[in-house]
Amino acid sequence: VGLGIAVLAAFRWLGEHAAELGLDPQRLAVAGDSAGGNLSAVLCQTATREHWPQRPCFQLLLYPSLDLRRGHPSHRDFADGYLLTAASIEWFMNHYLRSPADIHDLRASPLLAPDLRGLPPAYISTAGFDPLRDEGHEYADRLRDAGVPVELAPNPSLVHGFIGLVDGIPAAAAALDHAAHALHRALHPQ
């Protein structure tokens, strides 16, 4: 949860200094994979809820971690044998959270946010063989229900962490390419 505070501070600084860095403060996007997807989602929720003057205009979430309660069927179905395991998730949580109560903190489990209205458009890419798959799909549904434009890109043949496999797996390269095109379209609308 502490790392999230640093991410929020970094984005606020970037928003405040965008012009002097030659950036358009209205075209700042966030992207992240796995825990980075969690941080990106939390950043978008916080900036929207607190009405920051500069907010992300787009969020690109690759197989994001969104619900540390781990109750979705994909957590059970892919607990072992698919790169990201239940044991490794437990290890990460034990090193990230202050206590088990933090599981319910919106900064750890952004899927639990009661209101997702007003968030920036999203691109969510999921992997078929991933404990986090179902929470990514649920977040896409909740964003859509809240009126947020969202593109869900399921990749049924891939595992968690597939962006690290783009050199050897054509489906991973294609998924990353599709995500990059979505980000380009968001930052350079016609």
Q: Which amino acids are annotated catalytic?
A: 34, 130, 160
Which tokens is 106 given?
Answer: 């919106």
Residue 186 contacts residue 121 (beta carbons within 8 Å): yes
**Can you tell me which residue has the tokens 């825990």?**
35
Q: What are phi and psi of 67, to 5 degrees?
A: -150, 100
CA distance 164 to 172: 8
Question: What are the Cα distances from residue 65, in Å, to 25, 107, 164, 177?
Answer: 27, 11, 17, 21
Residue 162 contacts residue 169 (beta carbons within 8 Å): yes
Q: What is the DSSP letter of 67?
A: -
Residue 177 contacts residue 150 (beta carbons within 8 Å): no
Q: What is the DSSP letter of 119?
A: P
Burial class (CB in 10 A: 0-12, 13-18, 19+), 130: buried
